[in-house]
Amino acid sequence: MWERTLQDLIRGLRANKKDESKFIAQAVDEIRNEIKHKDMEIKAAAVLKLTYLHMLGYDMSWASFHVVEVMSAPRIHLKTIGYLAATQSFQQDTDVLMLTTNLLKKDLGSKPEEVAVALNGLSHIVTPELARDLAPELIAMLNHSRPHIRKRAILALYKAIMKYPEILPQCMSRLRDKLDDPDDGVVAATVNVLCELVHHNPRDYLPLAPQLFHLLTTSSNNWMLIKLIKLFGTLTPLEPRLVKKLQPPITDLISTTSAISLLYECVRTCIIGGMLQGHSGSSLARTCVTKLAGFLQDRDQNLKYIALLAMVKIVPTHPELVAEYQDMILSSVNDEDISIRMRALDLVSAMVSRHNLQPIVQHLLSHLVKSETASLPSASQALSQLATPTIPAAKPAISPSQSPVYRLTLAQRILALGSQDVYDNVTDFEWYISVLVDLAYVARVNIGGEIRDQLVDITGRVRGARRYAVQYMLKLLTDESFLHNAPDSGGCPEVLWAAAWICGCPSELAEPQKLLSYLLQSRISSLPPDVVAVYLQASLKVFGSWAAELAESWDDDDLPRVQGTVNDIVERLSDFVTHPDIEVQERAAEMLQLFTFIRADLSAYKPKTRSDFLYGESSANGFGEPSPEPRFPKSLYLIKPLFSVYELNAVAITAQASVPVPDGLDLDAWIVPWQEEPSAGAERDENDAAEGKKAKKGKKKDVGKAKRSKGKAKAGDVDADEDGAARGSASPALVETAEERAERERRKAERLERLRDDPYYLIDDRTSSTMSVSALDVDAIPVVKLDDLPPLSQTATPRLPSLRSSPVPASQTFIIDKTGEMPEGAVTAPPARSPRPSGTSSPSPLGNGNGASVVGSGASATVPPPSRFAYDLDADEPRSGTPQPIKVTRAKKKGTSAGKKGKKRTQKLDSTAAS
């Protein structure tokens, strides 16, 4: 019988590529017959071929027992085939592994070549049970006379320890002895195993430090030195005395070694082991930074990467040493490798301070400004490409500076550098505001929300920067190109939100009315709805401020100009009333009503002479009283008091939690006592029973109803006559009869009775007469009085092009309100559960208040200025306070009439109110 060898099987696979599955099926059938043969040579050849097919992806788990048979073969070349098949095919759950225990014990006590094969196989197929049963044999192999057996036994013992850690105390003394083994290979294997085991419980390996230090100072094997350095990097944090001991040999290695891998491992161990502290640590840190700076100039990208990675860890302790190579680090940001760019950004972010923030931010911003477009081909090149058709070339890779993900990361990193520790590194806020605006122009990614938050936060926290912020926001609002590109992707329309919001506080504007045409232009409808809403709100503030200033220096010649501005605003607002967003609709409708009122007041205004203003109309005897009416239209002061009561300030992060709870307020108590809802079936049964009782009464109830309705009909006729006299003649078909009115009243009473027990329904217990009087009492509605205005100053305000003139010092010191304003009567609140990390925190929200602009202002009480409007209220009219809770109870229904129930209900509520 002729059997195929492994070489024949490989040749057959190559020759039958078109029908490979059929050939393999035929080969597997042959292997099934061969593997059952009694000849061990044929069986081993079949297992070898099956192992090759297993490596190609075919299953051989069905032949596991035959593999064990070949493993037990007496000849070494057959035993090797069996162990090879076992390492390739056996898993942790293979059932025949339990049969290999005695086989492995026998092989571990045989010839050295058989011991070596058994150790190699055991390291691959070891299980917790095998590790437990074979641990004595493995430990005994550590004292074998052959060095290569001892080395293999150490490595196999490591695999056994990983599967069954309980054997580690038994072999620890033997491993310690192997550190002094005469063979360098055995020592290297022992150090390698200890380097892996030390991560599980480092404190157990501190007694090995003297032997490891001796190896560190005497060995010349670079790979073993790397493992030793890693070992000491793990042990040093647990034993600080090792730092002083290790500094001289590690410094010598860093200065003398030419092996890059060893050099980096020494630097890494110095960082994580705390060896860079103290005077001696400073010299070692300078040596490490110098070596890492040399890596940055190397052409190998891997060395650049690990150098940047190591410098990031040195910066927190020695920033001045890394700052010496700032230009070299910034040049790494220009690298084509995106991974090196990201590590360079991490390093730049870690080394930022007050002294180098501006050059670093400007350099990062230049990456967003650069246009890295490919050069266009010439005319001849384009014609030649059209004339000779070629295979289309692959699209060029996108440059890192053009990648949206990288640009977003870079923009976020710039914002994080500026806002770190509440703008602690920013010394010139005018420069930083210009950076934020420039970032909105060149980022071309969706970063507008973060820029908006910082612009608003800086305007609220830094009073000295408000004037410059208003100036820059004016340029932004009047830029047609930015408004045109804002709806596009990466257009940053949220920055316009901040610009409108900042310019909505127009204390710095000299001619606010010129801004109204930009805030109310029809093109802003393409912006997001929240931006449009802030535009409308800002236009209202701007007009209110301008109108109040105009009233201060009123001249009758200003009336046509004001009327024209108001008419233009009304016309522009009519376009926003039909906006799809409900928030914009509501604001536009409210503003339209306000400006319609202002327009009517301006139309009714009659200019007065100076004599009329001073003396009023002359009386009969020739003398007159001073006129109480102002010289300007009173509606000019209608809007400004709505927004100028409180000053803009930042709100403290714990302000809301510090608001004191009023006395007598229990936040945990129910507003309405909870009651169980009646089931639908029970309510239906009660209604059916009540209708049955009413039906049984029959004519008695109808007769009584008819008698009562006669008296009501007379009164109804009188009311109908009076209503008819007031309304004129009415159609007889529309007049409600007495019976219909009585039936409607009965149904209404039944419905109200059902709703009295519903805690979610509020019942109006007022009588009908009171309701009708209050509904018709129009005079009781409070009306805003525009009279009794105080005399105004007649000094004119000088007009300037854009901003008000104010002396600004050449070198201004900016004061940042880092704490924020606290509410009046604030109580000490616990610290926030999740404090904001420095550099990545978003600015705190802004609110109204009159807090101080210095750090630690505390809770200062705020007294709003008096309004120019006087609201007349009746002295006898009671002011609404916090109503007392109404206790709702469910009354038991025992067949009583609705009238009695209503009477009891009314008495109960009256008694509750009286109490």
Q: Secondary structure of 668-701 in the HEC alphabet? A: CCCCCCCCCCCCHHHHHHHHHHHHHHHHHHCHHH
Can you tell me the distance from the alpha carbon of 421 to that of 840, in angstroms, rounded to the nearest whole number?
9
* pLDDT at 903 (0 to 100): 41
Token digits for 296?
């940055």
Q: Is the pLDDT of residue 158 over 90?
A: yes
Least confident among 224-238, 417-431, 848-862 = 848-862
> Which residues, listed in sequence order, are joined to residue 870 by a DSSP beta bridge?
785
Least confident among 63-67, 138-142, 733-737 = 733-737
Can you tell me the distance from the alpha carbon of 173 to that of 171, in angstroms, rounded to the nearest whole number?
6
* pLDDT at 766 (0 to 100): 57
Mean pLDDT of 755-768: 67
Sign of the CA dihedral 733, 735, 737, 740?
positive
* pLDDT at 879 (0 to 100): 40
Q: Could you give the 3-state DSSP secondary structure of residue 509?
A: strand
User: What are the extents of the domains in the chain?
Assistant: 404-606+635-642
Residue appearing with tokens 């597997």:
28
Q: Is the pLDDT of residue 70 over 90?
A: yes
Q: Is the pLDDT of residue 660 over 80?
A: yes
Q: Is the pLDDT of residue 142 over 70?
A: yes
Can you tell me the distance from the alpha carbon of 127 to that of 159, in angstroms, rounded to the nearest whole number?
9
From the list 469, 472, 467, 458, the residue with the least C-alpha distance to 815 is 458
* pLDDT at 377 (0 to 100): 52
Q: Is the pLDDT of residue 410 over 80?
A: yes
Can you tell me the distance from the alpha carbon of 72 to that of 855, in angstroms, rounded to the nearest whole number?
83
Least confident among 344-348, 376-380, 761-765, 815-819 = 376-380
397 confidence band (pLDDT: 50, 70, 90):
low
676 confidence band (pLDDT: 50, 70, 90):
low
CB 325 within 8 A of CB 293: yes
Can you tell me the distance from the alpha carbon of 156 to that of 530, in angstroms, rounded to the nearest whole number?
68
Give 701's contacts (C-beta < 8 A, 6+ positions apart). Answer: 694
Can you tell me the distance from the alpha carbon of 412 to that of 426, in angstroms, rounded to the nearest whole number?
16
- Gyration radius of the chain over CA positions: 46
Q: Is the pLDDT of residue 847 over 60?
A: no
- Degrees, nearest 5: CA angle 279-281-286: 105
Mean pLDDT of 674-699: 53
CB 269 within 8 A of CB 236: yes
Q: Is the pLDDT of residue 774 over 50?
A: no
> Which residues, listed in sequence order, are joined to residue 279 by a DSSP beta bridge?
none
Least confident among 23-37, 543-557, 892-906 = 892-906
Q: Is the pLDDT of residue 389 over 70?
A: no
* pLDDT at 668 (0 to 100): 86
612 confidence band (pLDDT: 50, 70, 90):
low
More confident residue, 396 or 750: 750
For the stretch 254-294, pLDDT in tens is 989 889 899 999 999 998 888 888 777 888 899 999 999 99
CB 478 within 8 A of CB 767: no
Run of H or E residues at 773: helix 768-776
Can you tell me the distance from the alpha carbon of 854 to that of 860, in angstroms, rounded to the nearest whole number?
12
> What secondary structure does DSSP assign to 225-272, as a single string?
HHHHHHHHHHHGGG-THHHHHHHHHHHHHHHH---HHHHHHHHHHHHH
More confident residue, 287 or 794: 287
Least confident among 355-364, 566-575, 860-869 = 860-869
More confident residue, 682 or 91: 91
> Which residues, listed in sequence order, are joined to residue 816 by a DSSP beta bridge?
462
From the list 63, 107, 71, 69, the residue with the least C-alpha distance to 89 is 63
Least confident among 589-593, 777-781, 866-870 = 866-870
Q: Is the pLDDT of residue 852 over 90?
A: no
Mean pLDDT of 480-509: 88
454 confidence band (pLDDT: 50, 70, 90):
very high
Mean pLDDT of 636-645: 84
Q: Is the pLDDT of residue 234 over 50?
A: yes
Mean pLDDT of the chain: 78
627 confidence band (pLDDT: 50, 70, 90):
low
Q: Is the pLDDT of residue 839 over 60?
A: no
Q: Quick one: DSSP state of residue 848?
A: E
From the list 801, 792, 132, 46, the residue with the least C-alpha distance to 474 is 801
Q: Is the pLDDT of residue 121 over 90?
A: yes
Can you tell me the distance from the alpha carbon of 328 to that of 318, in angstroms, rounded to the nearest whole number?
17
For the stretch 539-567, pLDDT in tens is 999 999 888 888 888 888 889 999 999 99
801 confidence band (pLDDT: 50, 70, 90):
very low
> What secondary structure does DSSP assign to 326-357, as a single string?
HHHHHHHTT-S-HHHHHHHHHHHHHT--TTTH
Q: Is the pLDDT of residue 793 over 50?
A: no
Mean pLDDT of 500-513: 79
Burial bucket for residue 473 (CB in 10 Å: 0-12, 13-18, 19+): buried
* pLDDT at 891 (0 to 100): 45
Q: What's the maximum distance between 2 C-alpha atoms anywhere in the chain?
A: 151
Give the 3-state secondary structure of 605-643: CCCCCHHHHHHCCCCCCCCCCCCCCCCCCHHHHCCHHHC
Run of H or E residues at 112: helix 112-125
For the stretch 178-224, pLDDT in tens is 999 999 999 999 999 999 999 999 999 999 999 999 999 999 899 99
Mean pLDDT of 631-655: 83
